[in-house]
Structure 1
Amino acid sequence: MRKLGTARPISQKQSARKEGTRSLAKHHHKSFAKKSRSYSSTTAAMAQQNLNSLLQWSTENTVAPGATQPSSDPARQPAQLDPALLAQLLGGPSDADLMRQAMTAILSPEMPQDQKMIAWDNLEQLIESIDNAMNLTPLGMWAPLVQQLDAEESGSRMMAAWCISTAVQNNVKAQEAMLATGAVEKLAGLVLGDADQGVRKKACNALSSECRNFQAGMDELVKSLPEDVWKGKAVDAAEMDSVDEVIGKLREIAARQS
């Protein structure tokens, strides 16, 4: 991830993402330091409990000197540590924390646009994980994500479409959640009418990810398109040639010069 304050062109998004985690985590720890003593006491108790759990795990999975433990015996395989517990013990923010922090930066009116783009970059990387994409619903992040399709800055519109495309790709639960927000119509509107070519292309990608093998999403897209683009005939979302025909028309529109 990339550190807030070190904006780089979005085309180089793969090069320095870990920096952003440090910056966002630093802000998180500053806020944490302001909590009350009672909160600190509770946290200390939880930390002690977690440490006890770690010690118990270590004891249960330590082989005595001279003892043998056949690796083929499934009953003797070491138990796996809870990743959330391990994250707490190491003191680092969870992926859910990082997702919330990224969205907070994106929505902040005081955050410069170049810093928002770094936050967008970090969020998109996080939701490449299907588990994190599924967490958009319990974290309440679908609504603000879709709202950014109407953002004044074209960079935010583009990244919102990009994140949606990443989240819903081969993910039925995310496709259903996205459909419920009304984003299909918004994305179709961006493909057909946004002045920025980058926004149009990412919106088209998001529609492609949403509609493949998801009939409800395809039906909504067909309803959202004017007759001069698609004459309203039904499309089987599981038939890739038919899907490609619709998406191909949208790609031609998206690729036009601004």
Structure 2
Amino acid sequence: MASDKNLNELLKWSIENSTPSDPSAPGPQTTLTAEALAAIMGAPSDAELMQASMANITSTDPEITLESKLTAFDNLEQLVESLDNANLLSKLGLWTPLLELLGHEEARLRLMAAWCVGTAVQNNAPSQERLVALGGVEKLVGMALGERIGMEKRAGTENLTTEEGVTADKETKAVRRKAVYALSSAVRNYQPALDVAAKELRKRGEEVQEGIDATDMDAVDEVINGLKQRAINA
């Protein structure tokens, strides 16, 4: 376990630094990792920070301000820049609430959700797979095209939701652009995500050629740049 590894590192470091040494002998060979130091100081792990961030973002407590939620989302986005932390989203059960936040009534939280998704799936096949499995690609395509999706209603989150499914409102330009970024990260070098995105775009009347290769960056750029330009011109 990670805690055992940190304890072993601490023990080895302590022995090396407490034993009288020959001046001619080499210095201590063990250095403490950030995780070991955090364990010594009692600091929360990245997993705990991620869970706390999501709990803050989705809280119904009226005393937790929007600014606090945005700060928590910013922290979460920075945490999932790490490949290991991005993969923790699945293990911690955070993908579902993250994707639900794409439909939050507050535009700034929708933007942060799309940003966080885009960061988590970038060059990360396991996270791309989870996004596809949970229907996230379809949501991102709709948002990129200006559709305003709503959050699914869950017990205890009534005051966070709008109508279930697509609403009559149009998505904001800023959120659309961030959704395009997330979609771009999702489909590159991951064929299942690109296939779903292309299918969804064609269902909405978009002209997207069949059989685009997810490793063909020029072909992918053509699709993504078209969506980006439409978002900019919206």
Whole-angstrom CA distance in 1 between matches of 2:125 and 2:208: 27
Question: Residue 91 of structure 2 is aligned with which of 138, 141, 150?
Answer: 138
1:216-236 alpha-carbon deviations (Å, 9 max, x no partner): 110010011136322452211
Structure 1 CA distance for aligned equivalents of residues 190 and 9 of structure 2: 43
| 1:64 and 2:40 correspond | no
Identity %: 46
Aligned partners of 1:149 and 1:254: how far apart in 2? 17
Please state if 1:128 is matched with 2:81: yes
Deviation at 1:93, TM superposition (A): 1.3
| Residue matched to 2:216 | 239
Query: What's the counterpart of residue 231 of structure 2?
Result: 254
Q: State the distance in 2 between where 1:185 and 1:53 align.
A: 46
Q: In the superposition, relative to structure 1, how do residues 221 and 63 fare at CA in structure 2: closer, same or farther (>3 Å)?
A: farther
CA separation in 1, counterparts of 2:95 and 2:60? 19
Query: Greater shift after overlay, 81-90 or 191-200?
Result: 81-90
Task: Render the CA deviation track for 1:31-89: whole Å, top value 9, x for unaligned.
Answer: xxxxxxxxxxxxxxx9xxx87863443214667122423x9xxxxx8245454332121
TM-score normalized by the length of structure 1 = 0.72
**CA contact 1:222–1:230 (8 Å) conserved in 2:** no
Q: Which runs of 5+ in 1 are unaligned?
A: 1-45, 72-76
What does residue 193 of structure 1 align with?
146
From 146, 161, 169, give the equivalent of 2:114: 161
Instruction: Give, as a single letter, the amino acid of the residue that structure 2 aligns with 1:143.
Output: T
Q: Is the contact made by 1:229 and 1:249 (CA closer than 8 Å) also made in structure 2?
A: no
- Structure 1: distance between partners of 2:82 and 2:133: 21
The answer as to 2:52 corresponding to 1:101 is: yes
Matched pairs, number: 203
5+ residue gaps, structure 2 = 148-170
In structure 1, the residue matched to 2:68 is 115
